[in-house]
Structure 1
Amino acid sequence: MTSETDQRTGTSGLSVCGDIARRSDPDRFFCSLFLPAALREDAFTLIAFNHESVRALTGTQSRSVAGPLAGMIRLQWWREIVEGAPHPHEVSAPLRDLIAQGRVDRRTLLGILDAREAELEGLADRDAWREAMWHGAGGVQRAIAEAAGLQDEDALRAVASRGAAFGVGGLLRHLDAVLRGGRCPLPEDALNAAGLSRDAVQNGVDPARLGPLRTLLRQEGLALLHAGRTVTLPRAARGAALPGVLARRDLARDAGAEGDAVRGVGDRLAVLWAALTGRV
């Protein structure tokens, strides 16, 4: 069941959440098109919610007090929405509907916000970084699988692992742009090992110095992808796991190169083939 808010359309003819998802996260939006029609709007809502959680981080990670505090305030506002507060927003009403209907576990959504807060505070080591990737990018795909009716915990974890790998692949693909935008979703111990710091990379750094970090990201992403493929996914979970197909391709590319802003035909065909064959 959808709310009246869901039915409002954006300039593209999609719902408001669909329009946000298409503009802000074209990869997840494309993958969501292969979900059953009745589930697409749920996926759009969750993708739009994730976009809002990431927006709270952009340009706020200066070491000055004001930057992180502003991001924390925005994230707390969304945390209150997830916990039931009637704050007005074009994404909040359909999100509350999903929670109220028991379609998505509130803890999964709070985990996404926890991951964003951890990034704001600084990811001290690789364990903290893995946790943030698992609950952040991984949590988005887990939430979509929950909305699809998946309840098996092993399968949900497998979906989350592929979602986390997709997040790592996207970071690898757009690392320079992410850092220029004011975010630093990297483990500080790895930065220090490369002779860098959060402030240093956000203020601009020679791309060649990011080489060891790119190598690390690729290794970690492949490990997440492998972990996610140890469980055979039921049909209900396969659509939610489709971003793992893009992760596999992103992580196989040259770890020293930035990806193109627009996905190539090969990437889209790979997703299409996986959706048709169920081999995700």
Structure 2
Amino acid sequence: MPDRKPALSYAASLLRCDDRERFLTVLFAPADCREDLFALYALNVELSRIREQAREPMAGLIRLQWWRDALLAGQGGAGHPLVAPLREAIRRYHLDPDLLDGLLIARERDFDPDPPADPDDAEKLAAAGPVGLGLLALAILGANKKSGEAERNAVCAVSSAWGVLGHLRSIAYHAALGRVTLPASLLPKDGAVAILAGRATGESLSKATRTMAERAERHLIHARSVNVMREALPALLTAVQAKTYAAALRRSNWNPFEPRIARNRSRPLALAWTVWRGHL
């Protein structure tokens, strides 16, 4: 009989379905920590779904507190397939509870109906979750035990870029949930209303999108200028994919509603080439 491939874990299956970009980056991590990375990134998928699934903000905030209790207080969580592997990863790698709590705090802002005030606020909103996720991934990879500020700075830069570009790619999706993630200071008086109505067009929208996309590109340029340890690369590979999303926005003349912007750009061969070279 032919050998059967082992079934993917719940975390890996969830990630492959809902966040293929990060799923592929995990495949370049050492085998002994892949499941822990799958669990970490799958947690991000679970948290990102809460805003969409909650019928009202209070229900969503209660669900986020459920995760806080399960992971940080060790209370409840029975029956959820991610809780046990996440608790084990927290124990094994001594994951920073403040970073884990930061993931939850970032998702609490999903329920804030007001757009960010300015580009700095918009970047902070977009980057909070990805930066914490990247630093936790660095800890799981073990790179933070050997590395210094260079690796952490590179992870923060790449994660910030990924978060900003992710918000730009998801403008239509967020609008359907009643959220505007572009900075109010760059939109006309009725700009947020137009985005929520799905009829935002014109120079002001393009300008706001370009301003944020170029901030992301500057983060990517900075990350590529840093020499990092090879062990840290799996936590940085979203830079390869982020570059293609930034280029797609540029080709669309900074129109975030262009359908091809949301298209998956996993680029497995480019990821493999980056790992083989040993730098971004």
When residues 81 and 153 of structure 1 are mapped into structure 2, their CA distance, relative to the original with a 3 A threshold, is farther
Between Structure 1 and Structure 2, whose CA radius of gyration is higher? 2
Segments of 5+ residues of structure 2 without an aligned counterpart are 1-5
2:20 to 20, 23, 26: 26
Aligned partner of 2:206 in structure 1 is 211
Aligned partner of 1:76 in structure 2 is 65
Give matches, 1:57-68, under 5 Å: 57-58=51-52, 67-68=56-57
Q: Is the 8 A contact 2:119 2:212 kept in 1?
A: no
How far the C-alpha of 1:47 sits from its partner, in A, is 1.0
**SS of 1:237's equivalent?**
helix
Q: Is the 8 A contact 1:174 1:258 kept in 2?
A: no
Aligned length: 262
Q: Which stretch has the larger CA shift, 212-221 or 122-131? A: 122-131
Aligned partner of 1:115 in structure 2 is 106
Aligned partner of 1:4 in structure 2 is none
- Say if 2:90 is the partner of 1:99: yes
Cα RMSD for the two superposed structures: 2.6
Residues 60-105 of structure 1: per-residue CA shift (max 9 Å, x gap): 6xxxxx7332322222222222312232221111111111223422
TM-score (norm: length of structure 2): 0.82
When residues 118 and 87 of structure 1 are mapped into structure 2, their CA distance, relative to the original with a 3 A threshold, is same
Identity value in percent: 31
Q: Is the 8 A contact 2:230 2:279 kept in 1?
A: no
When residues 196 and 162 of structure 1 are mapped into structure 2, their CA distance, relative to the original with a 3 A threshold, is same
Q: Is the 8 A contact 1:109 1:139 kept in 2?
A: yes
- Say if 2:167 is the partner of 1:171: yes
**Matches of 1:100 and 1:133, distance apart in 2:** 28
Segments of 5+ residues of structure 1 without an aligned counterpart are 1-11, 61-65
When residues 128 and 190 of structure 1 are mapped into structure 2, their CA distance, relative to the original with a 3 A threshold, is same
**Matches of 2:279 and 2:177, distance apart in 1:** 35
When residues 207 and 67 of structure 1 are mapped into structure 2, their CA distance, relative to the original with a 3 A threshold, is farther
2:234 to 223, 235, 239: 239
1:41 to 31, 35, 40: 35
Q: Which stretch has the larger CA shift, 93-102 or 24-33? A: 93-102
Give matches, 1:186-201, under 5 Å: 186-191=182-187, 193=188, 195-197=190-192, 200-201=194-195
TM-score (norm: length of structure 1): 0.82
Q: Is the 8 A contact 1:105 1:143 kept in 2?
A: yes
- Say if 2:127 is the partner of 1:134: yes
Give the letter aligned to residue 76 of structure 2: P
